[in-house]
Amino acid sequence: MGHCGITSSKTVLVFLNLIFWAAAGILCYVGAYVFITYDDYDHFFEDVYTLVPAVTIIAVGALLFIIGLIGCCATVRESYCGLTTFVVILLLVFMTEVAVVVLGYVYRAKVEDEVNSSIRKVYNEYNGTNSNAQSRAIDYVQRQLQCCGIHNYSDWQYTPWYEESKTKSVPVSCCKKNDLTCTGSLDHPEDLYQEGCEALVVKKLKEIMMYVIWTALTFAAIQMLGMLCACVVLCRRSRDPAYELLITGGTRA
């Protein structure tokens, strides 16, 4: 019965190590996705530490690939030293992922304040040219999130760009997607996106942070199962001298 329990734990552990390899790729993908997406919205927040969870999750992904390799080799060979190393590293990664979850919640709570404090400054620096980073950021966000202005399209009337242009219009990035005749004129507000960008940017950034949090939580749970199976193999191996002699070819190391 004891040998059967070890065999079952070994089978699950080998399967989990294969999952760790897949998890490594998924974690790196999620981290890269966060980086790329935040790059599109980086003008709307100033705290660079917001990206710490993404950096950490990429590092964890790279480490998980190595863990999967160590775990597979140690499980197949039933190396006491290898399995112990596997459990210790897995525990460290588990603690790191818990830290990612905590940081994710902390920075998710700060997103709204960050956006609120910086978005008006970004809109005031808009000049409508492609060479201006703030202009590119605002035009991208307005097209991508289908919004216009901070709270609504009327906010553009209080920007330096609007006063200097004297055209009584908003940027064409405020025009509804399928309206090919829209010029951004405030005389035809029905052609413009009605919702403001501030709330949508906050929502988008919070959603991205939740991807990181749920990804970290999911794989932390899988790692707990991996540690449990490795501990079962180690404990049964150390408590069963006959089994240890069997796997070492009849001699003790």
R_g (Cα) of the chain, nearest Å: 27
Q: Give the span between the Cα atoms of 36 and 195, in whole angstroms.
A: 25
Among 57-61, 67-71, 198-202, 221-225, the minimum mean pLDDT is found in 67-71
Q: How far apart are CA 105 and CA 204, in angstroms?
A: 15
Question: In the predicted model, what is the mean pLDDT of residues 99-117?
Answer: 82
Amino acid at site 54: A
pTM as predicted: 0.74
Query: What average pLDDT does this structure show over 146-167?
Result: 91
Rounded Cα gap, residues 32 and 39, in angstroms: 11
Distance CA 185, CA 148 (A): 13
For residues 18-33, give the mean pLDDT. 81
User: pLDDT (tens digit, 9 = 90+) per residue, 193-203?
Assistant: 999 999 998 89
Q: What average pLDDT does the segment 171-186 reach?
A: 89
Is residue 219 very low, low, confident or very high in pLDDT (cuts 50, 70, 90)? confident
Average pLDDT, the chain: 79
- Contact by Cβ (8 Å): 19, 81: no
